[in-house]
Structure 1
Amino acid sequence: MTLPLLPIIPLRRDDLPIDTVELARFMIGKYLVRDVPEGRMSGRIVETEAYPVGDSTSYAFIGKRPHNAAMFLARGHAHVRLTYGVSYMFNMSGEIEGTGAGILFRAIEPLEGLALIEARRPGVSLRDLARGPGRLSTALGIGQAFDGVDLCTGRDLWVGRIEAEEVPVAVTTRIGLSREMHRPLRFYVPGSPFVSGPRKLLTQPSTPAI
């Protein structure tokens, strides 16, 4: 028996906060959807990181170049970058067109199309299918071809929400960086087993100044 699809409503660009830090927080509890000929894969976004204007760790910090041009598109566009020649990092642009900033999708809770996801990540537990940015991209088949794609179309690869659904949001410091590690720019669903990184960092402090 085929289960009915979740009632996910595509996000419009006007729904998205312009400020990159607000955008990273806003996207927690929203949905990432990948439509393929075999069906739909989707998951609840449980972890993001913000890379705001002027952040020296941002892909956009060096200014606009051919390889990072998608970071300068209007908020809601995909930027896909291959790191260390191994893993694709899936980002979404923030701010207004011409301003370089964005958020990194670090983890989702897989909900739809589990068989399709597991085929891309064979032998992996449900918890670890998309727990971490490289795993997330592999699980949903996100590669370089999606760089610059508009995520507000409701087609192919897109972001959405379920009406009246809310989740708690916590904030802590970013991980995997060699500088600016102290900034509270990593947002996540507290208590979710699908969040990546060391458990000891998943505290819920009051939001400090950024």
Structure 2
Amino acid sequence: MSRLIPATRGALAGLPVEVAPRLLGGVLRTRIDQVTVAVRLTEVEAYHGRGTGERPDPGSHARMGPTARNATMWGEPGHLYVYLSHGIHSCVNVVCGLAGVAGGVLLRAGEVVQGEHAATARRPAARSARELARGPGNLGAAVGLRHPVHDGIDAVSGIPQARAIARLELPDEPLADVATGPRVGVAGRAGTAAFPWRFWIAGDPTVSPFRWGRGAADA
């Protein structure tokens, strides 16, 4: 059985598509206002920025280059890019790649393994424990990270930011039961089998359901 070890910048310095499956089975732990919640990661998606890797990624926030919104993606690995989805959901990404090369891994789903009571209070709409961190907006809510105050928080050093501390731990060995396929809800070609950059633990009940993005099924 794999054991967990603290994430290092070196372990996260590869291309997001290479780093993403290594995050599975890892744990993101937050401590906010003295309340700790930990989520075991079961589903992730890789996103590359402009000039990252061999192929442009039309689904990435950084596809056109640096902006005020995606600035964290261009920073050093191990920071968390926390962005707002649909104006209400704070979603969490682990920044990957070297500083100056944009990339991130979206944390799509996980299992709450510590702090279930706090996660439930943050996610009152969840009907069961498996739904507490199922879906990227739900995961962000469960661990208590919010845009914009926690964007850029460092999950390697654990330096506090806006009364929050985040820590990422990774399995010392890659998991064997990893499935891969198109990313969820991503429009056009970026959401097709041309980009099989969604990774998940096969058979895990916390993994979110798949849905095609706009125009992806016909691309």
TM over 0.5: yes
Identity %: 34
**Alignment CA distance shift 1:72-1:8 (3 Å):** same
1:146 match: secondary structure: coil
Alignment partner, residue 205 of structure 1: none
Q: Does 1:91 align with 2:93?
A: yes
Which of 130, 136, 139 is matched with 1:133 structurally?
136
Which of 186, 206, 210 is matched with 1:177 structurally?
186
Q: Does 1:75 align with 2:85?
A: no
Distance 1:196 1:88 in 2: 16
RMSD of aligned alpha carbons: 2.0
1:67 match: secondary structure: coil
Alignment partner, residue 27 of structure 1: 23
Deviation at 1:157, TM superposition (A): 1.0
Alignment size in residue pairs: 193
User: Which amino acid letter does the alignment assign opposite residue 181 of structure 1?
Assistant: G
Q: Which runs of 5+ in 1 are unaligned?
A: 1-6, 200-210
Task: Write the mapping of 1:140-155 to structure 2, written as runs, cut at 5 A.
Answer: 140-144=143-147, 145-154=149-158
User: Which amino acid letter does the alignment assign opposite residue 154 of structure 2?
Assistant: D
Which of 115, 118, 123 is matched with 1:116 structurally?
118
**Alignment CA distance shift 1:63-1:22 (3 Å):** same
**Alignment CA distance shift 1:162-1:174 (3 Å):** closer
Q: Which runs of 5+ in 2 are unaligned?
A: 160-164, 212-219
**Alignment CA distance shift 1:39-1:164 (3 Å):** farther
**Mean CA deviation greater in 136-145 or 190-199:** 190-199
Deviation at 1:37, TM superposition (A): 3.9
2:82 match: secondary structure: strand
Superimposed CA distance per residue, residues 81-130 of structure 1 (whole angstroms, 9 cap, x where no aligned partner): 11211111211212111111111100011110111111111252101100
Distance 1:103 1:86 in 2: 20
**Alignment CA distance shift 1:165-1:173 (3 Å):** closer
Deviation at 1:24, TM superposition (A): 0.8
2:121 match: secondary structure: helix
- Alignment check: 8 A CA contact 1:28 1:167 kept: no
Deviation at 1:8, TM superposition (A): 5.1
- Alignment check: 8 A CA contact 1:17 1:26 kept: no
Distance 1:17 1:117 in 2: 30
Superimposed CA distance per residue, residues 54-93 of structure 1 (whole angstroms, 9 cap, x where no aligned partner): 2111011121112211000122211111121111121121
Alignment partner, residue 177 of structure 2: 168
- Alignment check: 8 A CA contact 1:10 1:154 kept: no
Alignment partner, residue 206 of structure 1: none
Deviation at 1:162, TM superposition (A): 5.3
Q: Does 1:188 align with 2:192?
A: no
Distance 1:60 1:8 in 2: 30
Q: Does 1:157 align with 2:160?
A: no
1:151 match: secondary structure: coil
Q: Does 1:57 align with 2:59?
A: yes
Distance 2:34 2:176 in 1: 30
